[in-house]
Amino acid sequence: MNHLPEDFIFSQSSLQDYVDCPRRFQLKYLLRQRYPAPEVDDLLEFERRMAQGERFHHLLHQHAVGLPAEVLQKRIDDDEVRRWFDTYLANGLNDVPERRYPEYSLTIPLGAYRLLAKFDLLALSDDKALIIDWKTSRHVPRRDRLQKRLQTIVYRYVLAKGGTALNGGQPIPPEQIEMRYWYADHEGQLVSFAYDAAQFEADEHYLTCLVREIEERERFPLTDDTTRCAYCTYRSLCERGITAGPLDEWELDEPTDLDELDFDFDQIAEIEF
Amino acid sequence: MRLLKDQQRVASGYFDTTIYLDGIAGTGKTTAAIERVKELIRSGVPADSILIWVPQANLAMPYRRALQRARIDADTNVPTTTIGKLAYEMTDLFWPLISDDEKFNFGDKFGRPNFLSLELVQYYMTKFLGPEIELRDYFNSVHISRNRLYTQIVDNLNKAALVRFEPDKIGDRLKDALGDSVEQSYIYDDAQETASLFRQRCLEHNLLDFSLQVELFVNHLWPLEQVQNYLTRKYRHLIVDNVEEDTPASHDILRDWLPQTDSALLISDTGGGYRRFLGADPINAETLCDQCQVHITLDNHRVMSKELVALHDQLDFSLDPSKTDEPQSDADARDAIAYAPDINYQPQMIAWAAEHIASLVHDQGVPASEIVIMAPYMPDALRFSLQRELDAQQVPHRSHRPSRALREETASRTLLTLARLAHPHWNLPPNKFDVGYALAASINELDLIRARLLADVLYRNGKLAPFTGIKNDALTQRITFDLGMRYQVLFDWLQAYQAQDPLPLDIFFSKLFGEVLSQKGFGFHGQTDAANIAANLIDSAQAFRQTVSEIEPNLDIPTEYVKMVEEGVIANQYLRDWEDDQRDAVLIAPAYTFLLTNQPVDYQFWLNVGSSGWAQRLYQPLTHPYVLSRQWQSGRRWTENEEDEAHRQTLAYMALGLIRRCRKQIYLGFSQYSEQGYEQRGDLLMAIQTMLRRLNRSDAHA
Ligand code: SF4
């Protein structure tokens, strides 16, 4: 039975959720059930780190659209963010091609649906297509773990498959693509992943099978790895515990799925009251 | 859907020029525009270089859905925007270019902007203006609630930004046109003083409400080369839908932008302009036609049946005294409507509507989503009665309520009551009734009667006592041991919480929700709606804390928040509320809300057809949509004739706009007496009766 709406859009976060726990995927993306329990024990610190991450990404966006670094530096009131920004100025753009697309999104067809990737920065030259993801997390994950993360798989695949319009109407050859995680809190340490045609084919096969599996699922079982439930807001719904896990032991140490701003800032008239 | 020839021209031609496309609702303009976007993408145009611009966010939904479903082997993630969204994004991104400019006088020139949500606008209105209104005795002759006063002050500031006149000219404009009496002039002076004061305070604290965001973007950022280059280079193709519902601020930006695009399509709904009360200016929109190289009109109506076309023309004739030639129709307008004669009171009308809807859904297989019930206003009492009747008829329904007070929801009230219990130092103890209510909502299977008993016995002097505090065995048994133990879990949690330093309110809510209320055996467990409302409340309290603590770090933020909610603050609007509203269910909504969704349906039920609300504007003593529009010539007086003409036009726009969004039939519900017992003889009813008499007369002559 297919539960997916016709206009469903997959993303690295929804696919990662599915791989981590099918039930979470169902609750979050199919049923769109919000369940506002804490994700971690120390919510204030969690919020502080999220805000720092957002602030840092925003500064980089402002810098990328041409606001001078000194103008931006004057306005940073958080020492950590300032240190990150200085690190970025020192080495964040080393070997980054000149044709740059900050905060760029692409969707491509995936089976009967679409797959979305939101890049922090895409940078292109004649023979290189670089994806940069700015990370502000406290830990640098192990390379083998990052390699397996859906973000690494999805981002490279989406660019190879959907970057045509950015490349003069020609697909970007996988061999030209590199995915680079850049760690602000570790002096700009890099973890890079190259790409090639074989990996592209393997990713295509993997992603297509994954989507087909989701489409054909009758049930969305709870994960067997109950350690995940400590960091999942649905834990009470699934009867998998009461309190949230400690922030310091959280594997990711960085929110991957910053909810988009959803307020309607537009005006509202009295007639509607 | 197959496109007609002119639609085809719009969809696949003129990729290097500008088009102005008009036609009445239902002629397939948006369909053609969606196809155009797809064709642009197929031709190699990057999706993110196309911008879809609409007057309000939900109007972009047909585009988003169609593009998400499109079988196109390329990126289809086309951005959509409104003037508000653009103003917000550009102010946020390019803030450093203006924040230290002396002319604005921002309180913290190197600090960040604080964007105000609807809730926060209401909060700061109360905070900045409330004491001044008291002190200076502003608006002493106006007898409307404070919230309504504030909304009209906000409305005036918004109009100044969207129509583009100086915000310190609000009072003069109103006085020149409407200040007949000294009393009325004072009201406009007070409206000016309060608007200016609010603006000044916002600048002092880097607080940016909608009006200030628009003003900064349109007047100060857009003229900067860096900003204009950023936007015009990024978005090479514009699709602007419902340009007639947009405002002069949008039109002015578009006028500058059009010559810089590769292509643009501007779409105007002839006869539209329903958002006039929000600053929409269809006459100004028309001036953009001259800026476009190609003008196409679609006139092949694809929504209304021929009976509805006849109804449209006949009612138009009845509503427009300048029309002298009776319309010739090849169908009978009366076949497009159904009504029950001889209904005296509103409950009968509601029952009549529900029965007919049930018959359509259950007997004739009409999808519930193809039915809408509307009235000029949809007060809670009417909405609840409709919901109850539809429930009894087993018809699924949904209700889009554009504005809802946070405190109205059971889940929010429960969380707020428990928060008061957990924070005795606030000195805001809840009353016994609210405690009983909160216990019933918190503990699964605990009915209100037993919850009240619990509150009676265990709630004293602002404090709950443990379950063991009940000494009466009969009562313990009546509550049951099982429910008593659940009460005890909640009690223990609240006690343990009080032993620690208090948490920010949103975090308190989140923990209470996660650790108790959503656990098995408690009232929020698996309750989708309650969880959603809790999530909204948590977001709201968090946003409040983040902004307010920045402005006044020493303020007692939780109690400020609780007071704000208790005073009836209207909740923020979320785009997801529109997105999630796709269930197969009958829509219950005010007529304007339905019109502004711009989605036709098969069947419409118009209730309270005799109400004068179909034609009359709300009583708004502080503002005026016509005088504060760009079409208003300064120095003129607003006359009674103009007032009458405005009523007539409002009614005609509304009624004809609704008919154009109906495919099969309109059910007219009217009761002789209103809810308050007044006889109902509004202009819409009169016009319909005139039309029916005329049609019956011509039958007799034939
Ligand atoms: S609580 Fe555990 S089982 Fe339930 S959705 Fe979350 S991760 Fe999956």
Q: Ligand 1 in contact with A21 (CB < 6 A)?
A: yes
Q: Which of B584, B550, B541 is nearest to B397 (CA)?
A: B584
CA distance B11 to B1: 13
Share of chain B above pLDDT 70, in %: 97
Average pLDDT over residues A223-230: 94
Task: Give strand pairing partners of A123.
Answer: A100, A130
Atom of ligand 1 nearest to the CA of A21: 8
| DSSP class per residue in chain A | ---S-TT-EEEHHHHHHHHH-HHHHIIIIIS-------SBS-HHHHHHHHHHHHHHHHHHHHHHTT--HHHHHTT---HHHHHHHHHIIIIITTT--SEEEEEEEEEEEETTEEEEEEEEEEEEETTEEEEEEEE--SSPPPHHHHHHSHHHHHHHHHHHHH-GGGTTTSPPPGGGEEEEEEEGGGTTEEEEEE--HHHHHHHHHHHHHHHHHHHH-S--PPPS-GGGGGG-TTTTTTT--SSPBPGGG-SS-S-S-PPPP-B--S---GGG-
Q: Which residue did the predictor score with more confidence, B452 or B377?
A: B452
Residue A237: list chain B partners with CB under 8 A.
518, 525-526
Q: In the prediction, which pLDDT does B579 show? A: 59
| Residue B509 CA, distance from chain mean position | 27
Average pLDDT over residues A12-31: 94
Give the tens place of pLDDT for each residue, B585-602.
Answer: 899 988 988 888 888 999
> Is the CB of residue B393 less than 8 Å from the CB of residue B355?
yes
Query: How close is the nearest chain A Cα to the Cα of B679, in Å?
Result: 24
CA distance B273 to B596: 10
Q: Which residue did the predictor score with more confidence, B69 or A209?
A: A209
Q: In the prediction, which pLDDT does B3 show? A: 82
Q: In the prediction, which pLDDT does B378 show? A: 84
Q: Which residue did the predictor score with more confidence, A270 or B350?
A: B350
Q: ipTM score here?
A: 0.93
**Average pLDDT across chain B, whole number:** 91
Does residue A260 register a pLDDT over 60?
no
Q: Ligand 1 in contact with A234 (CB < 6 A)?
A: yes
Q: What is the CA radius of gyration of chain A?
A: 20
Q: In the prediction, which pLDDT does B582 show? A: 59
The listed range with the strongest mean pLDDT (A85-94, B461-470, B649-658) is A85-94
* Banded pLDDT at A257 (limits 50, 70, 90): very low
The size of chain B, in residues, is 702
Report the residue among A39, A227, A234 best suited for mutation to probe ligand 1: largest number of ligand atoms under 8 A from its CB. Answer: A234
Q: Does B213 touch chain A (CB under 8 A)?
A: yes
Amino acid at B679: E
Q: Does B247 touch chain A (CB under 8 A)?
A: no
Q: In the prediction, which pLDDT does A248 show? A: 83
CA distance B117 to B544: 9
Average pLDDT over residues B87-113: 93
Judged by CB atoms closer than 8 Å, whether chains meet at B74 and A108 is answered as yes
Q: Ligand 1 in contact with A25 (CB < 6 A)?
A: no
Q: Which of B292, B287, B212 is nearest to B246 (CA)?
A: B287
> Is the CB of residue B694 less than 8 Å from the CB of residue B365?
no
Does residue B654 register a pLDDT over 60?
yes
> Is the CB of residue B253 less than 8 Å from the CB of residue B220?
no
CA distance B256 to B251: 9
Q: Which of A101-110, A146-155, A264-273 bottoms out in mean pLDDT, i.e. has the lowest?
A: A264-273
Give the tens place of pLDDT for each residue, B166-213.
Answer: 999 999 999 999 988 889 999 999 999 999 999 999 999 999 999 999
Pair of tokens at residue B110: 């190197």
* Banded pLDDT at A190 (limits 50, 70, 90): very high
Q: In the prediction, which pLDDT does A103 show? A: 92
Q: In the prediction, which pLDDT does B365 show? A: 94
State the pairing for strand pair B662-668/B601-606: parallel
Pair of tokens at residue B487: 């009460």
Q: Over the range B19-28, which residues count as b (16 or more CB within 10 Å of their CB) and which as e?
A: bbbbbbbbbb
* Banded pLDDT at A206 (limits 50, 70, 90): very high
Atom of ligand 1 nearest to the CA of A228: 7
Give the tens place of pLDDT for each residue, B632-644.
Answer: 998 899 999 998 8
Which class in CATH covers the domain with range A9-270?
Answer: alpha beta
Residue A108: list chain B partners with CB under 8 A.
73-75
How many alpha carbons lie under 13 Å from residue B268 in its C-beta half-sphere? 25
| Coil vs helix vs strand at B307 | helix
* Banded pLDDT at A2 (limits 50, 70, 90): low
Give the tens place of pLDDT for each residue, B509-564.
Answer: 999 999 999 999 999 998 888 898 899 999 999 999 999 999 998 999 999 999 99
* Banded pLDDT at A208 (limits 50, 70, 90): very high
CA distance B264 to B286: 15
Does residue A271 register a pLDDT over 80?
no
Q: Does A268 touch chain B (CB under 8 A)?
A: yes
**Average pLDDT across chain A, whole number:** 90
Pair of tokens at residue A231: 């960091």
Q: In the prediction, which pLDDT does B418 show? A: 97
Does residue A251 register a pLDDT over 70?
no
Pair of tokens at residue A76: 């940073």
Q: Does A271 touch chain B (CB under 8 A)?
A: yes
Would residue B138 be called left, alpha or beta, if left means φ above 0 and alpha means ψ between -120 and 50 degrees?
Answer: beta
| Residue B544 CA, distance from chain mean position | 21
Q: Which of A56-60, B116-120, B376-380, B449-453 bottoms out in mean pLDDT, i.e. has the lowest?
A: B376-380
Give the tens place of pLDDT for each residue, B93-102.
Answer: 999 999 999 8
> Is the CB of residue B103 less than 8 Å from the CB of residue B120?
no
Residue A109: list chain B partners with CB under 8 A.
71-73
Query: How close is the nearest chain B Cα to the Cα of A142, in Å?
Result: 32
Residue A33: list chain B partners with CB under 8 A.
528, 531-532
Average pLDDT over residues A241-251: 86
Does residue B1 register a pLDDT over 90?
no
Q: Does B151 touch chain A (CB under 8 A)?
A: yes
CA distance A271 to A266: 15
Pair of tokens at residue B684: 């819409």
CA of residue A13 to ligand 1 center, whole Å: 15
* Banded pLDDT at B690 (limits 50, 70, 90): very high
Judged by CB atoms closer than 8 Å, whether chains meet at B572 and A264 is answered as yes
Give the tens place of pLDDT for each residue, B388-435.
Answer: 999 999 999 888 766 677 788 889 999 999 999 999 999 999 999 999
Query: How close is the nearest chain A Cα to the Cα of B144, in Å?
Result: 12
Pair of tokens at residue B393: 């008829």
> Is the CB of residue B637 less than 8 Å from the CB of residue B177?
yes
Q: Ligand 1 in contact with A19 (CB < 6 A)?
A: no
State the pairing for strand pair B586-590/B397-399: parallel
Q: In the prediction, which pLDDT does B148 show? A: 84
Does residue A85 register a pLDDT over 70?
yes
Q: In the prediction, which pLDDT does B51 show? A: 98
Give the tens place of pLDDT for each residue, B23-54.
Answer: 988 889 999 999 999 999 999 899 999 999 99
User: The pTM is what?
Assistant: 0.92
* Banded pLDDT at B484 (limits 50, 70, 90): very high
Spell out the long-range contacts of A46-49 with Cβ–Cβ below 8 A and sequence spacing 24 or more.
A46/A247, A47/B542, A49/A136, A49/A253, A49/A254
Does residue B580 register a pLDDT over 90?
no
Helix (H), strand (E) at residue B453: helix B448-458
How many alpha carbons lie under 13 Å from residue B490 in its C-beta half-sphere? 32
Interface of A with B in 183-212 (CB under 8 A): none
Nearest CA in chain B to A35: B531
Q: In the prediction, which pLDDT does B637 show? A: 93
CA distance A134 to B14: 41
Residue B507: list chain A partners with CB under 8 A.
38, 43-44
Does residue A1 register a pLDDT over 70?
no
Q: Which of B270, B277, B43, B286 is nearest to B158 (CA)?
A: B277
CA of residue A35 to ligand 1 center, whole Å: 12
CA distance A12 to A115: 8
Count of A–B CB contacts within 8 Å? 180
Q: In the prediction, which pLDDT does B660 show? A: 93
* Banded pLDDT at A273 (limits 50, 70, 90): very low
Judged by CB atoms closer than 8 Å, whether chains meet at B513 and A37 is answered as yes
Q: Over the range B419-438, which residues count as b (16 or more CB within 10 Å of their CB) and which as e?
A: bbbbbeebebbbeeebbbbb
> Is the CB of residue B114 less than 8 Å from the CB of residue B91?
no
Interface of A with B in 223-242 (CB under 8 A): 233, 235-237, 239, 242
